[in-house]
Structure 1
Amino acid sequence: MRLSNLADYAVVTMGAAARHCGGSRVSSAELARETGLPVPTVQKLVSKLTAAGLLRSTRGTGGGLQLARPAAAISVADIVEAVEGPIALTACVEHGAHDCALEDSCAIRPHWPVVNAALRGALDDIKLTRLASPATPAIPNSVKEIA
């Protein structure tokens, strides 16, 4: 499973916006400069993230963008869903989706909601505060035991 480039860029953009969360506002152009993303891409993301209630946009003098709620209250799941829609590994669990030849006989279909909920829960546990802080490499337990 891979995120789309747009969802990946949304997480990157929100991480940059979170580093400005001390009450200051930032422009789309500044976010583009900080992230290395093209300005039109950031503007498209800002529109989606604002519509999802993750960013707040203020026009005029002193205007700009800021987080709509504290970084600790925004998760990777929130950001991905703002761009991609509901998190689901398969389309067959969506209401009205009837594009699978196995739909009538699939024994796994009733279990996909549990899998999707587990995936969403894992992404929901990763808050924007963690992504906005300097990275600390995760060392697998097996490496710690060797050292």
Structure 2
Amino acid sequence: MDLSRKTDYALRILAELIRDEGQTVLSVRTAAKKNDVPYSFARSIQHDLTLAGIIQSTRGAHGGMQLMIDPKVTTLLEVVEACQGPVAISNCDWNGPDGGPCLRATHCAFNPIWCGATRMLRDYLSSVTLHDVVFGTKAPSLPEGYWSSSAFETLRTPAMENLQPEV
């Protein structure tokens, strides 16, 4: 998974809005300048964040952006996915013809690895809110025991148990 430049810039702009909690409206130009975001790109991001319901945009001399989400409950994962779509290491979970799991999922030795890595990344990004990140009140983390070998065993399907290495 690559974090797009658009998502990086959107997070910088949102961080500025979160830091300026007392200010009701922040101009796009000010947010862009403070965060080294090209103004034209910031305008495009403002439009996308408005469509996603993350901010409200007001036109005019006293216009700008205003948060529409609660940064204390909105996770980093939610914003990243609003900006660039589902977070995934691979498309093993939805590569089938009907948008379901990959047709080889039941007999592919790598499927549980890629699906587990996706779950791990999603859990990591959803473990912190925007407020946590901006103010440094909590670091992202994974639950205790996440790295145990038994966690991998639950990912294996019965069909995979029949896979034997060729000698």
Instruction: Show structure 1 runs of 5+ residues with no match.
Output: 136-147
1:90-105 matches, cutoff 5 A: 90-96=90-96, 104=104, 105=107
Q: What corresponds to 1:109 in structure 2?
A: 111
Greater per-residue helix proportion: 1
Q: What corresponds to 1:77 in structure 2?
A: 77
Q: 1:64 is aligned with what amino acid?
A: G
Output one character per residue of 1:71-129: Cα deviation in whole Å (capped at 9) or x when no partner.
Answer: 1122211221112101111023235579xxx9535233256444323311211122211
Distance 1:71 1:119 in 2: 20
Give the number of aligned pairs: 134
Distance 1:23 1:96 in 2: 47
- In structure 2, the CA distance between the partners of 1:62 and 1:132, relative to structure 1 (3 Å rule), is same
Say whether 1:131 aligns with 2:133: yes
CA contact (8 A) 1:53 1:68 kept: yes
Distance 2:76 2:36 in 1: 20
Say whether 1:40 aligns with 2:37: no
**How far did 1:23 drift?**
4.5
Distance 1:26 1:55 in 2: 11
**Larger C-alpha radius of gyration, 1 or 2?**
2
Distance 2:63 2:129 in 1: 26
Distance 2:2 2:75 in 1: 17
Instruction: Show structure 2 runs of 5+ residues with no match.
Output: 138-167
**Structure 2 length-normalised TM:** 0.66
Q: What corresponds to 1:139 in structure 2?
A: none
Distance 2:53 2:64 in 1: 15
Structure 2 counterpart SS, 1:107: coil
CA contact (8 A) 2:92 2:115 kept: no
Using CA pairs under 8 Å that are at least 6 residues apart, name the structure with larger relative contact order, 1 or 2: 1
